[in-house]
Structure 1
Amino acid sequence: MYEDSWYSFVPEFQQQKRGTTSQSTGHRRRESLLQQPNGTTDRPNSIEPLSEILEQHEPDNSPPEATLARRAKSYSDLYDIVKALSKPDSKKKRRKRRKDSNWDALTVIEPKGREALPEEEELANDDVFRDELLQASQQEYLLYHDRLAMTERHLETLVEDTNSALELLESLCKSFRSVEDQTTSFRAQCDDLLSEQKRLQTLAEEVGTELEYYSYLENVTRRLNAPGASRLVDNSVFGEVLDNLDSCIAFMEKNPSYRDAETYLARYQALLTKALHLLEVGFTNRVEKVSSEISKQILATQSESARHALAYGRFEETLMESYSLIPNIQTVVLRAYDRAGQAKSGDPSFDTFSNTAKNLFQAYWTIRDRDLKPITQHDLDTFKAEVKELSVETAVRNYTKQCFERSYNEASLFGRIFALEPQFSSDSSSAFAALKPHKLSLVNGTNIAPVAANLQSVLGSSNLQTICNVVGWVTNEYLLLDYDEEETGFARHCRELTARLLTEHLWTFTDAVFEAEIAKSITKAVDPPDALKIGPLTNGVASSNAYPPVKRALELLVMFDQSMPKERCQRNSPVVYKIVKECIASLKRGEARIKSGKIGTDPDLFMIKNLLILKNELVSLEIGDVRDSVAGASGMQHFGQIWEALSPGNLIGLLTSFTGLSSVTSYIPGSSLWSRVSGSSTPTPEQMTKGNTNGVHGHQESQDASEQLDQMLRQSIVAFTQRWAGLFNDARARKLGAKNVTKVQKELDEMLDVAFSNQPEVVAKLKEAIQMNAQAQQSQEGNKITRV
């Protein structure tokens, strides 16, 4: 804050003072060389303290010893220095140092010259010491006083400068206020001018932008009508031309009220069509040129690996050797479809681009099908040879794998050329729909018809089991993939092809073969009378003594379940429905033949036996739970479910009151079968015992085959138990013409043992039901006699 020169005069004065003092003692005796350097050089060697002065204890009223204060760093630091010097400790230190200095000051200096008198020496010394003490004690305060005076002057100067600066700033503020008041209106006018300028600039830009849509017509017309316009399709500029034309068309369609908008729109559309036509011609010529070279090389070689390398690797490499033709093709295709082949119908030029894309696809597939004709024909010849030499199943597997591999290769090549991987879609405007109508012999991602046609031509002359084996293999091999690792692109492509091959061709073909077999072996089957008899079981198989149409129905159900996925083997399957329905119709015809002729078979037991076998097969398979063969006691494992809800109390209540026949549903597992018939009333006992009642059959015709089966099974069980219960009651009552109880029991045992020789639980349940039925009939007759 202050310069060093402000304080330089004080030390100089002190040095000068000390210099004059040393000169005044020039007559003293020379100092001894043996004196210790602990004192000043200008004092004599022998200094003796005054004993009289040392013994005095008078109060010290002398001024404090002068000390040199540190220079203040700033004006605020000056107060801290003053405060520090005013502390008691600092006073004690100053007093101590002053005492020591006083002792030095009181030291008597021995004169060099003559010996002075004691009084003179004392007076001289007093004067000298007094002056020195006064000067030493006042030196610090004088310096401090000078500093304070200087600081005061400096602060006054600062205050004056500050006041003048404030006055100047105040005057400037007043000037600025006056200027602002004067320029407010001017600034408002300037803001209005700026806003108007921006509006005009924006309007000019809009007008200029819209004029570009008009001025571009002449430029693009000249470029597309130039003699070398066909070379433009292999240039990157062609993509910009298409984008600009599309933008101009969209602008004209958006602003039909603009001047000559319709005229410009028509001309731009014509130019866009011409540009796309040039692209079609350029692409077709390019593919034809590459194809002519590759096809000759394919015909010249017989190696399968060499043909594959030429048809895919070399063809792709040669076709891609262009500047911008393939990128321009991809640009046009992607203007109509996305990567998955879905249509971009929101584009105003979608119809134009999609039509061009279809033409490009057709030209490409036509050329590819022609060039790969030798390869596809070789595969077909190999397939036919394997059918004759090997089995049909082996030939079909090899041919299917070969076709799927070629389809994947073609789809990969198509995707790299057109940047498109069309997925299955039912939308008529999608890329899949655009590719599907092509009638080609080459198998690709959208054309699966050649594989289906060749397979059906071979399977048409094969038996039903072979067809089921082939369809089941295709389903399990490709459609029902169960890999732990991530699915590959080839596996995903094969799954899509398999789904279309099955749903569009093979499943329909298989259903037709099954329906023909059902009509041949079940509907139109003519069995001899011996087939209606229930013979003994063979090898303990429950279905070995079943009615032949029922056996065939079980075989068809197993084959259909093996060849189809679970979703197709549900109740809505037409094949399963027809098998069950025709089997029930065949059993009805057999029951009618038994009743009309003397065959020796109980018609109700015949129905129970065959219906239980059919029901058990449906339940065991669960229309999807495949079991190859069921033998022994396990063949009737589900029969217990029919009886598990049956109790003596239910049977007694059933037979004592014929109006409560709804409880008979406990014979069949699951929910009440009578309640499943919506809108139908509970049948009467007469309707239960008479299978040819029109009302009951009318309800049966309107239900599905499973309900018809349950209904007929229930009717047969009730009729059988009631009839045999009546025979037992007649035998016990010894009615006229009735057999004895032992004979009736023997006939029943023989009949049940033949029908259910390895199912003792079925025999026991039927006997139990007959016994409870007989008790119920006896109690009913007793009630009638009591009422009479």
Structure 2
Amino acid sequence: MKANEKMANKSSPATGPPKSGDAVSKSYNFASNWEQNAPLSEQQQAAILALSHAVAERPFPQKLAQDHISRQGSGLTVSTKGNALGFEGSGTIDSVLVNTNQFYKWFTDLESAMKSETEEKYRQYVNILTDRIQTCDAILLQVDETLDLFNDLQLQHQAVATKTKTLHDACDRLVVEKQRLIEFAEALRSKLNYFDELENISTNFYSPNMNVVNENFLPLLKRLDDCISYVESNPQYAESSVYLLKFRQLQSRALGMIRSHVLSVLKSASSQVQAAIRSSGGSKASLSEGVEASVIYVRFKAAASELKPALEEIESRSSRKEYMQLLSECHRLYCEQRLSLVKGIVHQRISEFTKKESLSSLTRSGCAYLMQVCQLEHQLFYHFFPSSSEDVSSLAPLIDPLSTDLYDKLRPKFIHETNIDSLCELVDILKVEVLGEQLSRRSESLAGLRPTLQRILEDVHERLTFRARTHIRDEIANYLPLDEDLDYPAKLEKYTEQTPEIAPADENADVFKSWYPPLEKTLSCLSKLYRCLEPTVFTGLAQEAVEVCSISIQKASKLIMKRSSPMDGQLFLIKHLLILREQIAPFDIEFSVTHKELDFSHLLDHIRRIFRGQASLFDWARSTSLVRTLSPRVLESQIDAKKELEKSLKATCEEFIMSVTKLVVDPMLSFVTKVTAVKVALSSGSQNQKLESVMAKPIKDQAFATPDKVAELVQKVKTSIQQELPTVMAKMKLYLQNPSTRTILFKPIKTNIVEAHVQVQNLLRTEYSLEEIQNVINMPSIHELQGQLDRLL
């Protein structure tokens, strides 16, 4: 037992195999993780449990069990065979286990035997795998050699492909280069064609058979233009300037041929017309209208058909300078030939109108005939030059001389015309009938006449303006009135007797007879000029006419005041100023004119300063320099004739109202003035004792204010209201025919009369007793007074 203990001590952990705790822990952790990651089903767990119970108690081998029984008392003897333990081919291990050391040795041998038997099959498998690896290595070596051969083949193939591609690219480049060279050659050939055409075109143009009517002429001309355009756009080519010069020489020759052809055809047509006129036995001036149209216009249309191809070609290329010049030359040649044919006829017809007709008839007939000729010429011109017919300037060399002929016939007549009515009629004909209606209706064909007709109208405007200013100066501003012109109110009374039922001024033409002549002349002149002159010109004339008319009426009013009475002069002025204001109201203009004048009044002061030595004449840097000294001031003044008229009318009405008021209630006004003076003297105190004693008396004890005196002045006022005021109202009715005007003018008079009575009544209530007021003074009430005044209207 002691020996066993010693053996046990020798096999302690310090000298025995290493501890397996860590391995067990790792095995346990691995088993736990395996169980968690790969759990077994219930059936699998039951099978494992059954196996664990079956192997829980393993019996000893049969032989080992017998040896154990026979040697139980003498020691431990173990004899085992490999087959009994399940190990095949391991041989037999016989051992007699006497002590623990022997057991451990036996156990170690047994484990070694078990390990060697267990690993044998793995060694065999490793040997097999090793053989197979060696076989694979041999195969891989062969594969590597094959791959090397394949790589070499692939490199050779790539080299062949690269050489092939290089060859193909070179071929493509050659093809592209060939195509480019072909295109360059073609482009060069096409460009050279323009230069090569010089010889061909020259040969054709210098050919004796070549002319404008030749069918090849216009195509050659077009080709020549293309060559010129090309050479002009490419001056960088060699000898381009030389070729351009030669091309232009050919073009000049071709255009000269066209010009000669056009002139030849036009002259031929003119010769045919002249021959037809001679064969008819008359002259151009004596042809009838039907023969004129057939000979002068119809025969020229045949020439237009002959020239149409060439002229259309020229018009289509008129954007080029040389063709524009040729087209203008053709226009001029055409107009010259046409003018030579029609000028004599137009001159003869207008001369016939001049001999037989008045200025207005000549204007109508001459313009109508000229517009007819212009329309026919425009239609004929359209057959020759369809694209140029819209340009007014194309026919100007033909139309201007014809229209100038009419202008030369009209101008001397309206320059010597002094009648404003005739000039206004002439303006109306030109502005409304000719320019407004006929010319606007046929504006395209008659546009060439507009400048001349506009010039005639402007000259007539100028003449009309001059005659209007002369009329205003002579007939209005410097009018010398006759006795019958100033015979007021007799003139109005006579007119009233002739026309018992007075009508408004705008409804009865005879009412002008009752007006002062300058007023009638002013309104008549303005009404005629309003539609004939430009607004700016008419505004200046209207302002001047209204201003001088107002002054002339005021002068006549002063003369009437001396001849008849101040009231007649006032009513005359009010009447005519009202008519003037009423009649100028429809004119839609401003009667305001700004006058500018030069003021040299400051020069005297500057000259004095220079003479005194206070300023220098040559000091250009100062304000007193020569330029500033001699520069005038521009003074502007604005004159509004309408406002001046209103101002004069207002002043005259106020003057008339005050004169009528004084005529009726002057005693009352004097009484109120005296009473006011006494009261003022008493309130301020007087230095004169005698005067103070007189003023100290009550108002009714004053000599001028006794009840009897007051009753006397009240009676005078009553008499004036009953006798003088009706006379005034009769005069107002005679001068002012409009009841509303009389009412407006009488209203302030009535107010003044009533106000004077109110002031007197207020004084009577404060200064007089009721008995004196009722029994002595006996002043009418305000209500009675107003009723009496209202009945006068």
Task: Give TM-score scaled by structure 2 length.
Answer: 0.52
Residue correspondence of structure 1 range 637-656 to structure 2 within 5 A: none
Cα distance per residue 1:528-584 (max 9 Å; x no partner): 23446765368646361444333233323333455x5xxx65x33x13531442332
User: Larger deviation: 365-374 or 466-475?
Assistant: 466-475
Map of 2:131 onto structure 1: none
- Whether 2:268 is the aligned partner of 1:332: answer no
Alpha-carbon spacing, 1:369–1:481, altered in 2? closer, same or farther (3 Å): closer
Q: Output the amino acid matched with 1:432.
A: V
For the residue of structure 1 that corresponds to 2:272, the secondary structure is helix
Residue of structure 1 aligned with 2:291, choices 266, 284, 306: 306
Residue of structure 2 aligned with 1:408, choices 375, 392, 400: 375
Residue of structure 2 aligned with 1:717, choices 649, 661, 671: 649
User: For the residues of structure 1 that align with 2:368 and 2:388, how far apart are their CA atoms?
Assistant: 21
Residue correspondence of structure 1 range 455-534 to structure 2 within 5 A: 455-461=410-416, 463-481=419-437, 491-493=442-444, 496=447, 499-505=450-456, 507-525=457-475, 526-530=478-482, 531=485
- Whether 2:333 is the aligned partner of 1:363: answer yes
Map of 2:554 onto structure 1: 591
Q: Is the 8 A contact 1:220 1:241 kept in 2?
A: yes
| C-alpha deviation, 1:415, in angstroms | 0.8
| C-alpha deviation, 1:612, in angstroms | 4.2
User: For the residues of structure 1 that align with 2:425 and 2:177, how far apart are their CA atoms?
Assistant: 84
| C-alpha deviation, 1:765, in angstroms | 2.3
Residue correspondence of structure 1 range 549-564 to structure 2 within 5 A: 549-561=518-530, 564=532
User: For the residues of structure 1 that align with 2:752 and 2:189, how far apart are their CA atoms?
Assistant: 103
User: For the residues of structure 1 that align with 2:214 and 2:316, how far apart are their CA atoms?
Assistant: 18
Cα distance per residue 1:279-309 (max 9 Å; x no partner): 2122111111121121121244344312211
Map of 2:735 onto structure 1: 755
User: For the residues of structure 1 that align with 2:752 and 2:206, how far apart are their CA atoms?
Assistant: 101
User: For the residues of structure 1 that align with 2:469 and 2:449, how far apart are their CA atoms?
Assistant: 29
| C-alpha deviation, 1:327, in angstroms | 1.8
Q: Which has the larger radius of gyration?
A: 2
Alpha-carbon spacing, 1:497–1:614, altered in 2? closer, same or farther (3 Å): farther
Q: Output the amino acid matched with 2:455.
A: E
Q: Output the amino acid matched with 2:298.
A: G
Q: Is the 8 A contact 1:464 1:513 kept in 2?
A: no
Alpha-carbon spacing, 1:219–1:533, altered in 2? closer, same or farther (3 Å): farther
Map of 2:624 onto structure 1: none
Map of 1:212 onto structure 2: 193
Map of 1:702 onto structure 2: 638
For the residue of structure 2 that corresponds to 1:702, the secondary structure is strand
Map of 2:540 onto structure 1: 577
| C-alpha deviation, 1:715, in angstroms | 0.7
| C-alpha deviation, 1:411, in angstroms | 0.5
Alpha-carbon spacing, 1:475–1:764, altered in 2? closer, same or farther (3 Å): same
Q: Is the 8 A contact 2:224 2:247 kept in 1?
A: yes
| C-alpha deviation, 1:711, in angstroms | 0.7
- Whether 2:262 is the aligned partner of 1:289: answer no
Map of 1:433 onto structure 2: 393
Alpha-carbon spacing, 1:288–1:436, altered in 2? closer, same or farther (3 Å): same
Q: Output the amino acid matched with 2:194.
A: Y
Query: Which one has a larger percent helix, Structure 1 or Structure 2?
Result: 2
Alpha-carbon spacing, 1:328–1:277, altered in 2? closer, same or farther (3 Å): same
| C-alpha deviation, 1:276, in angstroms | 2.0
| C-alpha deviation, 1:278, in angstroms | 2.1
Map of 1:620 onto structure 2: 586
Q: Output the amino acid matched with 1:383.
A: F
Q: Is the 8 A contact 1:518 1:579 kept in 2?
A: no
Q: Is the 8 A contact 2:388 2:394 kept in 1?
A: no
Q: Is the 8 A contact 2:661 2:749 kept in 1?
A: no
Cα distance per residue 1:660-697 (max 9 Å; x no partner): xxxxxxxxxx9xx99x99xxxxxxxxxxxxxxxxxxxx
Q: Is the 8 A contact 2:269 2:299 kept in 1?
A: no
For the residue of structure 1 that corresponds to 2:586, the secondary structure is helix
Q: Is the 8 A contact 1:459 1:467 kept in 2?
A: yes
Residue of structure 2 aligned with 1:384, choices 332, 348, 354: 354
Q: Is the 8 A contact 2:522 2:549 kept in 1?
A: no
Alpha-carbon spacing, 1:553–1:589, altered in 2? closer, same or farther (3 Å): closer
Cα distance per residue 1:339-388 (max 9 Å; x no partner): xxxxxxxx4x32x323222222222122212223443244224313431x
User: For the residues of structure 2 that align with 1:420 and 1:777, how far apart are their CA atoms?
Assistant: 89
User: For the residues of structure 1 that align with 2:635 and 2:577, how far apart are their CA atoms?
Assistant: 19
User: For the residues of structure 1 that align with 2:756 and 2:464, how far apart are their CA atoms?
Assistant: 47
- Whether 2:247 is the aligned partner of 1:315: answer no
Task: Give TM-score scaled by structure 1 length.
Answer: 0.52
Map of 2:404 onto structure 1: 449
Q: Is the 8 A contact 1:474 1:498 kept in 2?
A: no
Instruction: Give the count of matched residue pairs.
Output: 487
Structure 2 stretches lacking a partner, 5+ long: 1-159, 281-286, 506-510, 595-633, 674-715, 760-793
Alpha-carbon spacing, 1:599–1:401, altered in 2? closer, same or farther (3 Å): same
User: For the residues of structure 2 that align with 1:761 and 1:329, how far apart are their CA atoms?
Assistant: 77
Cα distance per residue 1:195-214 (max 9 Å; x no partner): 54554455444433433333
For the residue of structure 1 that corresponds to 2:527, the secondary structure is helix
Map of 1:19 onto structure 2: none
Q: Output the amino acid matched with 1:279.
A: I
User: For the residues of structure 1 that align with 2:316 and 2:577, how far apart are their CA atoms?
Assistant: 61
Alpha-carbon spacing, 1:451–1:333, altered in 2? closer, same or farther (3 Å): farther
Q: Is the 8 A contact 1:233 1:282 kept in 2?
A: yes
Cα distance per residue 1:49-93 (max 9 Å; x no partner): xxxxxxxxxxxxxxxxxxxxxxxxxxxxxxxxxxxxxxxxxxxxx
Q: Is the 8 A contact 2:360 2:425 kept in 1?
A: yes
Alpha-carbon spacing, 1:726–1:541, altered in 2? closer, same or farther (3 Å): closer
Residue correspondence of structure 1 range 159-308 to structure 2 within 5 A: 192=173, 195-197=176-178, 199-227=180-208, 232-301=211-280, 302-308=287-293
User: For the residues of structure 2 that align with 1:372 and 1:476, how far apart are their CA atoms?
Assistant: 28
Q: Is the 8 A contact 2:378 2:445 kept in 1?
A: no
Q: Output the amino acid matched with 2:336.
A: T
User: For the residues of structure 2 that align with 1:239 and 1:296, how far apart are their CA atoms?
Assistant: 32
Q: Is the 8 A contact 2:399 2:448 kept in 1?
A: no
User: For the residues of structure 2 that align with 1:762 and 1:227, how far apart are their CA atoms?
Assistant: 98
Alpha-carbon spacing, 1:594–1:284, altered in 2? closer, same or farther (3 Å): same
Cα distance per residue 1:94-140 (max 9 Å; x no partner): xxxxxxxxxxxxxxxxxxxxxxxxxxxxxxxxxxxxxxxxxxxxxxx
User: For the residues of structure 2 that align with 1:329 and 1:728, how far apart are their CA atoms?
Assistant: 89
User: For the residues of structure 2 that align with 1:238 and 1:303, how far apart are their CA atoms?
Assistant: 42
Structure 1 stretches lacking a partner, 5+ long: 1-178, 337-346, 424-430, 443-447, 624-669, 678-697, 781-788
Cα distance per residue 1:697-741 (max 9 Å; x no partner): x999425xxxx2331132123312332343355453535699966
For the residue of structure 2 that corresponds to 1:556, the secondary structure is helix
- Whether 2:503 is the aligned partner of 1:548: answer no
User: For the residues of structure 2 that align with 1:299 and 1:728, how far apart are their CA atoms?
Assistant: 90
| C-alpha deviation, 1:518, in angstroms | 1.2
| C-alpha deviation, 1:241, in angstroms | 3.9
Alpha-carbon spacing, 1:222–1:181, altered in 2? closer, same or farther (3 Å): same
Q: Output the amino acid matched with 1:219.
A: N
